[in-house]
Amino acid sequence: MASPDVLLPARPSNARIFGRAVRTGMGDLRSNYTWWSWSSGWLLRCLMEVAFFGLIGLLLQSREATYFLLIGRGLFVGVAETMWVIQSAAWERGTGTLPLLVSAPGRAWPAFAGRSTQWLPSAATTSLVSLLIVPPLFGFGMTPEGIVASALAAVVSVIASYGFALPIAAIVLRRPSWRNAASNVTHNVMGLVCGALVPVAFWPAPVQWFAQIFPVTHSLRGLRAVLEGAANGWGELVAGLGLGLGLGALWFAFGAWLLERFAEAARHGTIDIDT
């Protein structure tokens, strides 16, 4: 037992751990990309992806379908990038830092969650640039209102989807070999049902209900309302963004809880954290 005269260091706050982890994550981002490699590599690849879906609309000889696909995929391309949170959380096991994280005096979830924010700046920028550049190439102009709505939808969709990815990342930490499959299955299923490729109403009722768990379903619906000139477009956008953020916060809280359960299990030796 420690002497009463010995002052034990206070446990670092969650906010402090999260802030330091964010700084580490931004360092990871800078090590992954330079401005040139990001813009000429990743961003260009995403722009080509969005344009590919626009070409599908042209093949269908439907201007409405072309616009629908350009907006849906333009917003979703950044959301899909956010699913890298699932993979990067599992990297801690490969780099040997996991034993340090679970043995540290502070909580583990702020470290995992903070470092995973490295994907957010790239994802939000990718979505916004895709929405602003590709549709005009197909003859669809963007009004100032549309630019503002696109920026809001891109940022909110990415942040909320980051919260959604966190509990999946916590599960994958227990089975790191699942990380690529989990990320790919998640973003492909989400892309199919959230309204990015076909209207949510296209699906049977159970699938429509399932689609509501994804934050991007609601933010995309609101963005379309503004861009298509709906009478209450901004009201629908605000409601969609609010609902998306709320869902993202709930998923984030669930992910933080799962990460703490993982850390507790690792501390008690019920998970082999050296593999």
Number of domains the chain contains: 1
Tens of pLDDT, residue by residue, the chain (275 residues)? 455 555 556 678 888 989 998 998 899 889 888 999 999 999 999 999 999 999 999 999 999 999 999 999 999 999 999 999 998 887 777 666 777 777 777 788 898 899 899 999 999 999 999 999 999 999 998 999 999 999 999 999 999 999 999 999 999 988 888 888 999 999 999 999 999 999 999 999 999 999 999 999 999 999 999 999 889 999 999 999 999 999 999 999 999 999 988 888 777 765 555 55
Domain that holds residue 260: 37-267
Answer whether residue 13 is part of any domain: no
Q: Is residue 8 part of a domain?
A: no
Report pTM: 0.90
Reduce the DSSP state of residue 247 to 3 states and report it: helix
Beta-carbon neighbour count of residue 199 at 10 Å? Answer: 12
Q: How far is CA 87 from CA 11, 37, 100, 163, in A?
A: 29, 21, 19, 14
Neighbour count for residue 206 (Cβ, 10 Å): 8
Of 48, 38, 70, 44, the residue nearest 57 (C-alpha): 70
